[in-house]
Chain A
């Protein structure tokens, strides 16, 4: 396809890297609009309350305040939105349903004026009993988080169950197993804590509503804004500056609809930058409790997996139903399990709306399932490596009956991880090792479009609806285009982040962009190459079949013409361009539980070696290794960077991260001081990431997606290693020093005093 060195598969420099190291990169909060009004939100120190009255009179007296908006100012009934169901009001309406839900929004000439006025908005409210945990939400007589009238046509309308899903095959109850492992596992609420707090702006001009947001899915936001404001999609423009980290937390609309209304009300551009604390109150991962029963035969073969998973969703569904169903569908992991029963529930609660978060429900389930396997290995006296290898689905195997077969040599990843921690040698004294695997379904039904414009000078613009939130989509996709057209990567400019310019893309999620956008770009480039052949045939009278496009040139009559030269001949002095279009779509399958089959599987194997200070409970990770099955790395350095980052993020929920609620549903550890995430001093002593590249994915050159696998199985690997080192088994995350200490105490291993 291309002569000379193609950038495909090379670790080329990040596009946009220079801007980021010089401070020139403009994130949403860095943008300035003329005449902008600064917005501050008003929220109450409660988890659940009835709003009795909102008095804005004092706030309006503050110099510079232009508007104070509350539910009363909006069309009645207050418009509602959501990516899956229209359940969320633009602003709290009648009730505050989670700690941080805005009750009013002040727009003023300066941030100081807005903050001053926000403090003067008087809200009369009555605190109400709320449900803040799965137990509370499901208890008899529990207050309903959402009014039944708003739940649509579901038998669950009078409950706090958002949904209940049943998956599986075979017959678990009829299956006999020699050994059954039972356990209940908990995974906490965790915050995305992107270093960029959430920010958004909106403006209205000439009947077009423009919204700026570091949103991962600009076209979802476009649709939601159009719907909630009552405009055609063509009258809504989303500009999405690259996000300063997102991890799923910036995927779905939050306060953008509110800002659109503010812009319409005031007739001025409006700007909202959340504090870090408010960002904590805007999105989080769903907490999860899993009751697992796993049956094995004496040789360690899996007989059945019987899983009940309850996910604590927040006050509004957001994408919660999808998180629960998609993750639960594959809960049994990358294994051959003849009998599986999965019952998964999404439970509404008066808490911050949970949303997508890297791994999309899989880390929560892998925590349980992989811990079960670790326990089984101990009980059966088997090597955890061999136990997994015995049960791993082989490439091509139909491990989820009727669905996408296993698409990788997963045992290769498993053994690579084990080898990297010298698994077959005894661990040094006082240390223990653990292994775990994680499997995630990639994107199912979705579509990516690409428009590739070949300019008259031979340079190329690639228009795609994907977003770059740090994962390097811009770079990777420019490599794909450069490779397809045989031109240097410098000749390609990727355009993203403006729905008025770029074509529709479902989302930047599910690790799908390299495959979907990559394929779409490939198709668009092939379209261009076809057009080049066609115009060359027309110009030079050579049959089209005899014309080749190769190495960045069009070969006609034994001569290789540069694209620019050909276009010049074709269009003449008034110039022109060629436009190639490509679309990559995964089919919508209404009968499929996920709406479509997984395009590929994201798989990781994790191995680690730890040491535990049995006096304090502190864990020291000597080695942490992840191996991801990626098909083909378009930019190897980018994949490694993502995997490392995902692994460290996994260490966060493994060792230290959890949102703590008080009895009133307020987040107690709100902010960076008491919500701890890993720093450079919290790293394993040795960390490594590896890739398995067998070119067996559906993307360009056999690529699969990447970016999420690294986080999927860190927790169970570490917990298994802790058990190996100390004998204690812990089923709740995070493994804080105090939790580990307590487990050691209960096991009688830690006696006072010990030095």
Chain B
């Protein structure tokens, strides 16, 4: 694999993200595969933020352990990212400061702030950095000009030309003043220009493609971008978005909307998801379809809002009092954020239950060059809706919304349909939707009916995927966004002659036990990767398929995604 990694860092408010966005977009447009990761803090100005891009000739799902080119606007950027540098790395720093602790690395000072100030505004030092980057990568600075016009055109010709000059001067300065050092971009490119999209954007797009026409949500990092996406797209396709007063209201508005036959959802992260728990139970007993995406962040409580974690699995699996059937989907890649969100709406409608989509900050806020989404893979499958003509054959008041059917799935009317009136209710009820708490037979039959609904849903087909030899010495097990690093580590371990396989879970509930059990049984040892402290995935495996003593673990809960090297190191430790 040919690859190159680039990172820019500085204080928040210095245009770090837009620097990365511009470069990533250009590289993607050139046909390279990129992966971009944002490191940021929960403040608006100051602190430290960085934006990293890995570029390759094949799809990459992770930003890489190392950094080849580091552009530092301040000393903190050097200190915080030094560990990623290697002997061939290059550090380019703003010569407004005298860099420390850089001795063993090649470096080059460029007066980025000064050039920007001379052009009229220090803020455009990030465009100087773009010009420098173009010089280091042997790219024509003209490549960036269209983008400057698209981004700044509305601010007038003066702003556009200032930004162009910044790029050109950065480019010229590097070529004239710095030691001629260049990095090559990969020689091969994608056959078709990929899409550069974040997991959150992909989730929003997937929802729209899956037929969603209503979102109610409350702003929360790292899920808000899903809301942004749907606010800017749903109205165009006949949908609406409400920013609710809190997540309790958001979830209940989505339930109300679903009740009218619209495909509706809410998006949130941990703290908001906790507030939705009672409403999730309501959707469960009232049998209203509901899709929730939880872009997990490091908890508990406010925790670390800008850091990643996979610690809401237990809440998704068991949250809400009482017992309800539910589906928990866990996309592992940015493309899967799209396809799983779309499918979530089909499942929610088919089974008239809650479908939870477990994303996380790493997946949601990173951007990846992905193959174009496939229109033909998305099908909006309406189901379970009773027709007007069927209702017309019934006696008034005799529509059994909660009819005890073999499948457990009962036909659903929607408000406006004649002869279809019923009450959706949070109380236990009979087939007609009348409150019924005294008849134990009714309770048992309604409980069984609700849980029967998922009996025909088999998670085994796509709920667990397996890569590698059949009888491995070591089986790496993960779920969700850890796919990227585990799969890279597995390939490297394989190249090193190790007999290592990878089992990845994509559905946690209903649990794909039939697909998982034989794989664990066949493996010499198992190593479970949990981006949380308590080992929620490992505990689920123990509960669902047993083999209690077979699991070695590796947990990370410092707010960062796993690195490939730590996975390899841990795997080798277990293999010894």
A and B are partners in one complex rather than unrelated chains: no
